[in-house]
């Protein structure tokens, strides 16, 4: 199996290899830009990360068509609707906490099967219907509703049988660990190939897609792609889910052939990261330069980080400056697009301006 995983990276199809290499180069160019940029203050990064996690958790509901239904109008709600909403809430909470754990502590989380099972237990933590198999490989072949898909799928697209899953996961995880520590293959290609293998094995009864996406984030961080916490990869996947899923299935279907072609999957996997990087770069290039701010203006921004919003009166009191001076400081921050004004008259208050494109991917 390790030879097979090596071979499909050594013999990438000429039809797609140039696109794959160009995308890898673009991602690495952004990686260099990120490490060499003027580092924004920690609160800005924290706010970006929190926002990205929130968007990612919500977007994960949309991947594969699992979209939260709108609450019914009126006082009556069906039992099925209430159950579905509870499941969606459990999905979002589990995904949020697990992704946050990875972003905050990835450097202290050793890569291996134990981590993969821990991520699975985390994303299903609040799902009562999945309590029996949290953090455990599947014990039965593709239960309903996947049984029909198993019956009609060609052998190449069927998940590993339960009795073969532990060995398949051990080999795939060992291969990824060794190759990421080596120099033969670019880490982005190793990560993409490993995620493809994980999704082909489908080691869990439920939650394989969620685990794969969070594990991808973990592996990117461990490989030095420090920008990934600050923009949502799940949002990008949700927006191009059809292409993403088609490329996954197309590449899985060829894995048993003498010359497998996984370039369709690598192309879409890498293009998602590239789009994530582009959105983040645009965001940072739009942000004004904090080096132009005076100590008083920086003091106002610190108050905004502490309280979320400020008023002229609060700034005057906290910074010990006249209210007219506080007004001038706020007007200057408005011009520089560091803050935005809310309300009118005596109800005027100010919040930090941060432009980012919102959006909102499988079970």
The SS3 call for residue 56 is helix
Out of 47-51, 148-152, 168-172, 207-211, least confident range:
148-152
- What is the average per-residue pLDDT within 16-38? 90
Which pLDDT value is given to residue 87? Answer: 81
Other CB atoms closer than 10 Å to residue 3's CB: what's the count? 9
For residue range 125-155, list pLDDT tens digits in order.
999 989 999 999 998 876 544 544 555 556 6
Out of 62-76, 169-183, 187-201, least confident range:
62-76
- Let me know: does 46 contact 100? Beta carbons within 8 Å: no
Which pLDDT value is given to residue 66? Answer: 53
Residue 191's Cβ-count burial label (10 Å; 0-12, 13-18, 19+) is: buried
pTM score over 0.75: yes
- Is the peptide bond between 145 and the residue preceding it cis, with omega within 30 degrees of 0? yes
Q: Domain 2-71+79-286 carries which CATH code?
A: 1.10.3290.10
For residue range 314-354, list pLDDT tens digits in order.
999 999 999 999 999 999 888 888 888 988 887 899 988 75
Residue 339's Cβ-count burial label (10 Å; 0-12, 13-18, 19+) is: buried
Q: Where are the domains of the chain?
A: 2-71+79-286, 290-352
Helix (H) or strand (E) holding 342: strand 339-342
CATH of 290-352, picked from 3.60.15.30, 1.10.3720.10, 1.10.10.10, 1.10.1040.50, is 1.10.10.10
Return all residues near 21 (Cβ < 8 A) that are at least 6 apart. none
Joined together, the tokens standing for residue 268 give: 């879409």
């Amino acid at each position: 199996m390790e030879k097979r995983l090596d071979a499909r990276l050594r013999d990438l199809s000429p039809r797609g290899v140039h696109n794959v290499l160009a995308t890898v180069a673009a991602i690495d160019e952004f990686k260099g830009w990120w490490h060499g940029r003027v580092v924004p203050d920690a609160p800005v990064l924290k706010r970006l990360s929190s926002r990205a996690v929130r968007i990612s958790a919500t977007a994960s509901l949309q991947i594969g068509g699992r979209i939260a239904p709108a609450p019914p109008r009126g006082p009556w709600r069906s039992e099925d609707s209430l159950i579905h909403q509870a499941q969606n809430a459990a999905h979002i909470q589990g995904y949020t906490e697990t992704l946050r754990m990875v972003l905050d502590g990835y450097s202290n989380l050793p890569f291996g099967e134990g981590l993969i099972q821990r991520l699975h237990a985390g994303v299903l933590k609040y799902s009562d219907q999945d309590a029996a198999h949290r953090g455990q490989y599947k014990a039965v072949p593709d239960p309903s509703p996947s049984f029909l898909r198993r019956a009609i799928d060609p052998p190449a697209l069927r998940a590993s049988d339960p009795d073969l899953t532990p060995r398949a996961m051990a080999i795939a995880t060992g291969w990824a660990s060794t190759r990421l520590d080596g120099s033969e293959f670019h880490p982005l290609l190793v990560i993409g190939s490993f995620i493809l293998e994980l999704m082909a094995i489908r080691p869990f009864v439920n939650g394989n897609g969620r685990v794969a996406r969070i594990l991808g984030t973990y592996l990117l961080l461990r490989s030095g792609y420090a920008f990934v916490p600050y923009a949502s990869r799940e949002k990008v996947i949700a927006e191009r889910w059809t292409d993403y899923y088609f490329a996954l299935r197309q590449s899985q279907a060829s894995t048993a052939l003498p010359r497998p072609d996984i370039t369709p999957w690598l192309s879409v996997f890498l293009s998602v990261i590239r789009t994530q990087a582009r959105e983040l770069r645009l965001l940072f290039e739009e942000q004004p330069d904090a080096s132009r701010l005076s100590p008083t203006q920086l003091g106002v921004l610190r108050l905004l980080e502490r309280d979320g919003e400020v008023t002229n009166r609060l700034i005057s009191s906290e910074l010990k400056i006249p209210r007219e001076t506080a007004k001038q400081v706020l007007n200057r921050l408005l011009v520089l697009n560091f803050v935005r004004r809310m309300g009118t008259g005596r109800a005027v208050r100010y919040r930090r301006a941060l432009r980012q494109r919102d959006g909102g991917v499988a079970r």
